[in-house]
Amino acid sequence: MKKNISVGLLGLGTVGSGVFQIIERHQEELVHQLGCGVNIKSILVRNLEKTRDVQVDSTYLTTNPEDVLNHPEIDVIIEVMGGIDETREYILKALEARKHVVTANKDLMALHGPELQNAANQYGCDLFYEASVAGGIPIVRGIEDGLVSDRIDKVMGIVNGTTNYILTKMDDEGVSYEDALKEAQELGFAEADPTADVGGLDAARKMAILARLAFSTSVDLGDVEVNGIADLALKDLQFGKQLGLTMKLIGFTHFQDNQVEVSVQPTFLSRNHPLAAVKNENNAVYVNGEAVGETMFYGPGAGGLPTATAVMSDVVVAIKNMLLDISGRSYLPPRFEKVLKTPDQRFSNYYFRLHVQDKTDTFTAISTIFNDLTISFERIIQIPEDEIVVVTHETTLEKVRNVLADLQKADVVKEVKSHFRIEGAVGE
């Protein structure tokens, strides 16, 4: 049998402990796959004395990054410490020292992915990041390998478990946003400071990574239009339900004529859309390919062991590539120059809820505002408390922005309460 392969860990938190456990428990499977076992040689931690969930021989722990990054026997470095600037430096050092790197760090990959991937290519190393998007769901490899001969034109994801848990509670049980968030915090699905989750930034990071991968174009985090769920009114979810729509925080990216759009926003889904059935803290990524059609990958988006499983699937591929002497070829530079779609090229159906004057000509006045911008209705519904819900046929974001401006100026409209993209047909 071949000599065991040695790996090093940067970090020993929830995911790191999961990786540690899998390597301990699954030696037999690893030997079966690789023809050799896997050893952990050194683990970078902040505090040597901390009590941990896993029993680790203290001689393996170190607070000096060099002990991992330049360990002569370590071939693969697993980065599960999080953070951005310091971590970026560590990974660059590791690559320079000709170590392959597996990372679960979405923040880092969203911001510095292309730079790190180029460095990996330059040093003939692999840099894998399956765990950085949607935890245990093998979506990176699913897009890379499974659909390799297809042209992907759309990726939609429920890629944040916290917000999906909150929206499920609101939609299924009529719980308010505040109460649902509190419950999510009590259950450990939401952080004490939930800003990055509920504001949509966490999902935006993952969507930037997915858009780059799916369309081979260099999307940056700043290209993602982001709206979170903190202002959502239960009322809209209830009207949506009556229209056969389910509210989800959807990461959306579309590629057409070499032009790309990426957004994260609360979106109404037709009840028949496969993503509409994804509940609680679960994640799912929907991929539409020209040839394959609609596919979806579903699973746990977070959690120590699920994320660690994704990390380990990368570790296995990195080791296989190393044993076969084919490392450093996994990253392909973008094929397409980035061109962002302009608002007149971004199409969707929309939902508006308006607080209006209770007058006989209100309906007509509002119809006229939409008609003047050639936005056609799917339906328009008067609801209690002087409100009107308008559902449009497909229109452009540009027209939506114009109609919002016109509605705000109109006498009959007291307030535009909300507006949302709709994905799929209403009332199905």
Where do we find the tokens 């302009």?
342
User: Footprint of a copy of itself on residues 260-319 (CB under 8 A)?
Assistant: 272, 274, 276-279, 282, 289, 291-300, 303, 305-306, 308-310, 312-313, 315-317
191 is in an annotated binding site: yes
Q: Evaluate whether 354 touches 234 at the Cβ level (below 8 Å).
A: no
258 binds a copy of itself (CB under 8 A): no
150 binds a copy of itself (CB under 8 A): yes
108 is in an annotated binding site: no
Q: Evaluate whether 100 touches 76 at the Cβ level (below 8 Å).
A: yes
Q: Evaluate whether 269 touches 279 at the Cβ level (below 8 Å).
A: no
User: Footprint of a copy of itself on residues 30-59 (CB under 8 A)?
Assistant: 30, 32-33
Rounded least distance, CB 300 to a copy of itself, Å: 5
187 binds a copy of itself (CB under 8 A): no
Rounded least distance, CB 18 to a copy of itself, Å: 7
Q: Evaluate whether 74 touches 93 at the Cβ level (below 8 Å).
A: no
17 is in an annotated binding site: yes
103 is in an annotated binding site: no
In sequence order, what are the residues at sequence separation of 6 or more whose Cβ sits closer than 8 angstroms to the Cβ of residue 225? Answer: 261, 262, 263, 264, 265
- Alpha-carbon span 69 to 94, nearest angstrom: 5
95 binds a copy of itself (CB under 8 A): no
Q: Site for a copy of itself (CB under 8 A): which residue of 54, 84, 326, 405?
A: 326
Q: Is 279 a catalytic residue?
A: no
In sequence order, what are the residues at sequence separation of 6 or more whose Cβ sits closer than 8 angstroms to the Cβ of residue 261? Answer: 225, 252, 253, 254, 340, 341, 345, 346
Would you state the structure tokens that stand for residue 365, as one six-digit string? 């006045």
Which residue in the list 206, 248, 341, 399 is annotated as catalytic?
206
User: Footprint of a copy of itself on residues 114-143 (CB under 8 A)?
Assistant: 130, 136-138, 141-142
Rounded least distance, CB 153 to a copy of itself, Å: 13
Would you say 25 or 401 has its CB closer to a copy of itself?
25
> Element (H or E) spanning 215, and its range?
helix 201-215
In sequence order, what are the residues at sequence separation of 6 or more whose Cβ sits closer than 8 angstroms to the Cβ of residue 1? Answer: 31, 35, 36
Using CA atoms of 155, 161, 166, 170 in order, give the dihedral in degrees to the nearest 10. 50
In the annotated binding site for NADPH, the residues are 106
Which positions lie near a copy of itself, rule CB under 8 A? 18, 21-22, 26, 29-30, 32-33, 130, 136-138, 141-142, 145-151, 216, 272, 274, 276-279, 282, 289, 291-300, 303, 305-306, 308-310, 312-313, 315-317, 324, 326, 332, 335
